[in-house]
């Protein structure tokens, strides 16, 4: 989506977890612990991917998109399909999206990335200070964009 901003990529953290697993420092039961809620969200709102599960290698991963933000009120923390996100992005000023990958075969799950969506990102004439002011809410403290995220944002312009 073109309006994604403050993207935080968790692929390094995922690779670290997989390394720990290979080295035997964590067991599969530690990382394959998807809750019934997460698995239901994957079944009903998930986005199928072509990516094989790194653990069981028999199922493809499903991406679940969780949305957070003050404007969402009671919908905060719910899963949404990928097609619903652009609609929300048109109606809300700003909300946070967390993408989680889940394997419905072995229950592997891991955070893939997080980003902000919303109308605030569509306006081309916002002043530079707007971005700092827009950071708020529960998940925002974890949303400090790294250099990679910033580079990706630059590339989108």
Applying CB under 5 A, the residues found at the interface with Zn ion are 53, 55-56, 103, 105-106, 108
The residue among 40, 20, 42, 39 whose CA lies nearest residue 30 is 20
Select 94 or 107, whichever has its Cβ closest to Zn ion.
107
Token duo for residue 103 = 């394997």
Select 26 or 56, whichever has its Cβ closest to Zn ion.
56
Smallest separation (angstroms) from Zn ion to the CB of 39: 12
Smallest separation (angstroms) from Zn ion to the CB of 79: 19
Smallest separation (angstroms) from Zn ion to the CB of 61: 8
Smallest separation (angstroms) from Zn ion to the CB of 13: 18
Select 34 or 88, whichever has its Cβ closest to Zn ion.
34
- Range 36-43, long-range pairs (CB < 8 A, 24+ positions): 38/64, 38/100, 38/102, 38/109, 39/102, 39/104, 39/107, 41/66, 41/79, 42/102, 42/104, 43/104
Select 29 or 124, whichever has its Cβ closest to Zn ion.
29
Q: 64's torsion region: left (phi>0), alpha (psi -120 to 50) or beta?
A: beta
Select 107 or 120, whichever has its Cβ closest to Zn ion.
107
Smallest separation (angstroms) from Zn ion to the CB of 104: 8
């Amino acid at each position: 989506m073109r309006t994604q901003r403050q993207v935080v990529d968790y692929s390094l953290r995922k690779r670290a977890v997989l390394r720990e697993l290979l080295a035997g420092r964590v067991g599969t039961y530690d990382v394959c612990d998807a809750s019934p809620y997460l698995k239901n969200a994957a079944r009903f709102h998930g986005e199928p991917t072509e990516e094989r599960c790194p653990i069981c290698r028999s199922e493809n991963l499903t991406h679940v998109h969780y949305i957070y933000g003050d404007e969402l009120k009671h919908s905060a923390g719910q899963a949404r399909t990928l097609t619903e996100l652009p609609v929300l992005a048109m109606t809300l000023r700003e909300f946070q999206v967390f993408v989680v990958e889940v394997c419905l075969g072995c229950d592997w799950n891991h955070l893939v990335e997080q980003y902000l969506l919303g109308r605030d990102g569509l306006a081309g004439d916002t002043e530079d200070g707007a971005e700092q002011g827009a950071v708020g809410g529960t998940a925002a403290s974890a949303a400090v964009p790294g250099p990679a995220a910033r580079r990706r944002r630059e590339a989108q312009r």
